Structure 1
């Protein structure tokens, strides 16, 4: 099993979600985050006053999946989340030792289905 974390632009999420659904991926967690990287900060405007926004708003998607689903998910993310601009995000992949469904106490791959 692997955990996939993807940091993406909020505006591309609908296409990413649809692409994941077509691959049979319906279990994921989403967090609203802010981050800084190569993407320059922006100047915001609030009630006529400008201010510097050092961090860009992003979404963090997290999924734990069987090894066989990793490449299809990567393919969806690369296809649907890319705008070709700085700040499109990152994908991180981690090994997962064990998964346990609390309700049924099932272990391993069956716990993530």
Structure 2
């Protein structure tokens, strides 16, 4: 079974809406971190120009990655500068700490 990591940085105000959309998709787990930074949008009222954002990280099967990315984009979209970014990264190894093993391998992959 192959895995991907979907990583998104979104405006904090959209986090609850994104979480609800991912829950409706039955995404089995995610991590959320509050982060600061700037990219397309800058906070000109701060000396370092950073803004508060939420970073979402999801490990999923390769076949689910694009649908999860689309779900995040749909839920986080405002059409305004600074809506955020989504990236899909390859995962070389994936282990469960509790069992110290890889998840069951599906022969279909």
- Give me the TM-score of the superposition, normalised by structure 1: 0.83
**Alignment CA distance shift 1:68-1:109 (3 Å):** farther
CA RMSD of aligned residues (A): 1.6
Tell me, which stretches of 5 or more residues in structure 2 are unaligned?
none
Q: CA deviation at 1:80?
A: 0.5
Tell me, which stretches of 5 or more residues in structure 1 are unaligned?
44-50
Secondary structure of the residue aligned to 1:24 is coil
Q: CA deviation at 1:109?
A: 6.0
Decide which structure has the larger Cα Rg and report it: 1
Secondary structure of the residue aligned to 2:22 is helix
- The number of residues matched between the two structures is 103
Give the structure 2 partner of residue 47 of structure 1. Answer: none
Secondary structure of the residue aligned to 1:5 is strand
Tell me which protein shows more strand as a share of its residues. 1
Give the structure 2 partner of residue 46 of structure 1. Answer: none
